[in-house]
Amino acid sequence: MSAAEMWGRVVSVHGAVVEVAFPAAPLPPVQTLLAVAWDQPETLLLEVQGHADAHTVRAVALQATAGLARGVRVRATGAPLSVPVGEAVLGRLLDVTGQLRDRGPDLPAGTPRRPIHNAPPPLAAWAVRDTLFETGIKVIDLLAPLAQGGKAAMFGGAGVGKTVLVMELIHAMVESYQGLSVFAGVGERSREGHELLTEMRGSGVLARTVLVYGQMNEPPGARWRVPLTALAIAEHFRDARHRNVLLLMDNVFRFVQAGAEISSLLGRLPSRVGYQPTLMTEVAALQERIAAASGSAITAIQAVYVPADDFTDPAVTAISSHMDSMVLLSRELAAQAFYPAIDPLGSTSVLLDPLVVGAAHYRVAERVRQTLARFKELQDIIALLGVEELGRADRQVVTRARRLQRFLTQPFAVTEAFTGIPGRSVKLADTLAGCEAILAGETDEWAEASLYMVGTLEEARAKEQGAAA
């Protein structure tokens, strides 16, 4: 393409979708970048999404288009969007185009860049990993264990604690594994982004973390592409530096939601429940790139908003089909002040297998599930007739299930400022020992409050002895 052919002009602007005419063929390929030569201080970048006719392309804006007029000149770069990667971006906050947004110094000259669109690793290069990623959160490590190089999702409606859980996992990764974290804020509120940045600076973990934001007040193009920007940075550390990376996304549903907005603006017919017809393809293109390869792994933990608490929503089912571990957050448990409000019966993991976690872990997890499931079955009878009308065996189940529920709560480091209770990170062996003791009846005579919001069983024992004294 000659220099004369690389320039076009804006012919229409429909919110985040801009049509650009190029008088000479060939047209810029799909997923390549266009740069708008307008009179604003920042360059406006567009990404080609389709060819409307022989001379016109439809492109999605990655920044706000306010003030863009018809006839403005546009340059086709002929390459996809590329973002800075490597050690230089650690401790920095970037936007979807890789621009720094933390008011810090510029990146050094020669910082490597990587395109945001990359093919997933070939299957032959995938490394199957069954090494557990211990989070220090009792209910997750016991009932929905995560794998290094795996994908886990936190499903929950509004206000049940998804963001707090993700922030605690960042804390666990940096404290326990001394690894790198890449955080993608997809459709986050500005307040949440500011709080996370301030807290990371205060706790000293920012130096090993990259923050990438496409915020709620930005156009759908930014929210749609920001997970790919974060993924490109994580892939560089995995493939070029051979380092393990924890990739956190909050919230993946906003990525799907932004894709639906863009799909409507592009004139595509909607699919089920109004979602874009390309829903499964877009989710797969993101999730299939998250894998263990090149001797290192990207471990992904993703918060997923569940609209109206409907777990059959097409976006939720599309995302869940790619997950190894699924952690469900329950509004009912949150209302009873059981935090983290993780549903022990709905949360699952493909790793909860005796061949992976060991026979002892599997046995304890199954007994905990059976006890809690039986307690749930008995709740209607208890509500009608009371616990006294149950048989001796069922009364014992209720006693132990209520103590298990309280033992599986724990204070978080990230909520210490609000609760005044120091956070607890519990080793898997201590979690298993505590659950076994409760199931064996060692705590049947203890006050239930002694097991609430503690770390290990020893801490609960000290609390019980203090209350008795």
**Residue 23, amino acid:** P
Which of these is catalytic: 70, 73, 113, 189? 189
Which of these is catalytic: 58, 114, 151, 162? 162
CA–CA separation, 333 and 447 (whole Å) = 20
Q: Is residue 188 annotated as a catalytic residue, yes or no?
A: yes
Burial of residue 144 (number of CB atoms within 10 Å: 0-12, 13-18, 19+)? buried
CA–CA separation, 149 and 104 (whole Å) = 32
Pick from 249, 243, 160: which is nearest to 212 by CA? Answer: 249
CA–CA separation, 87 and 240 (whole Å) = 11
Which of these is catalytic: 19, 168, 188, 282? 188
Secondary structure tally for the chain: helices H, strands E: 14, 19
CA–CA separation, 299 and 292 (whole Å) = 8
Burial of residue 107 (number of CB atoms within 10 Å: 0-12, 13-18, 19+)? middle
Q: What are phi and psi of 305, to 5 degrees?
A: -70, 135
Q: Is residue 189 annotated as a catalytic residue, yes or no?
A: yes
Q: What are phi and psi of 84, to 5 degrees?
A: -70, 140
Tokens at 249, concatenated: 């996304």
Distance (Å) of CA 67 to CA 38, 127, 253, 326, 446: 9, 49, 30, 44, 68
Query: SS3 of 422, please?
Result: coil
* Residues with active-site annotation: 162, 188-189
